[in-house]
Amino acid sequence: MDRKTVWDPLRRKNVALTPEEDVRQWFIVQLNALMKVPMHMMMSEVGIRLGEKMLRADIVVYGRDALPVAVVECKRPDVRIDNAVLDQAVGYNMVLGVKFIFITNGKTTYICRRKDGKAGGYVFVDRMPSYEDMVRTPQDKQVQ
């Protein structure tokens, strides 16, 4: 039996089409088409070391300075998005330090933005940020 594959434009190769991979590929299109993230500013299956653990972020979006600005955690459509999934993405962010966290199962998507200031933490946002929103710095907001 042949396994179905799908072209991953970020890894530039065919990969096994699992339910989670289907969600990942769908979200890559959302990032590019709706949020205007250039394909060359994203990577999928990014290895991250958290202490002794090696983790893999589904998608990382990079700013023009090559620093990460967003991380995406994708789950199969039948996986409920709950605090454990959010904790997983926040764990990636302990290493990455991004401004945006996206969590999706293809049916439900949550977007969190890091709060400005020293207090830190995240707030849920109700609209998809553009790439320009993602790469904008607090100093940019003051200039406008």
Domains with residue ranges and CATH for the chain: 5-143 (3.90.1570.30)
Look at residue 89 in the predicted model and tell me its pLDDT.
86
Q: How far apart are CA 141 and CA 37, in angstroms?
A: 20
Of 3-12, 33-42, 81-90, least confident by mean pLDDT is 81-90
What integer pLDDT is reported at residue 55 of this predicted model? 86
Q: What is the pLDDT of residue 59?
A: 96
Average pLDDT of the chain?
89
Per-residue model confidence (pLDDT) at position 94: 83
pLDDT in tens, 59-77: 999 999 999 999 999 999 9
pLDDT single digits (tens) 87-133? 888 888 888 889 999 999 999 999 999 887 656 788 999 999 999 99
- Asked whether 5 and 16 are in contact (CB, 8 A), the reply is yes
Burial 8-32 (b: 16+ CB within 10 A, else e): bebeeeeeeeeebbbbbbebbebbb
- d(CA 34, CA 56) in angstroms, rounded, equals 25
Longest Cα–Cα distance of the chain, Å, equals 59
Q: Residue for token digits 């995240």?
A: 122
**How many Å apart are CA 138 and CA 51, to the nearest integer?**
30
pLDDT tens figures, 22-31: 999 999 999 9
Is residue 142 very low, low, confident or very high in pLDDT (cuts 50, 70, 90)? very low
SS3 content of the chain, % helix, strand, coil (to 5): 30, 35, 35
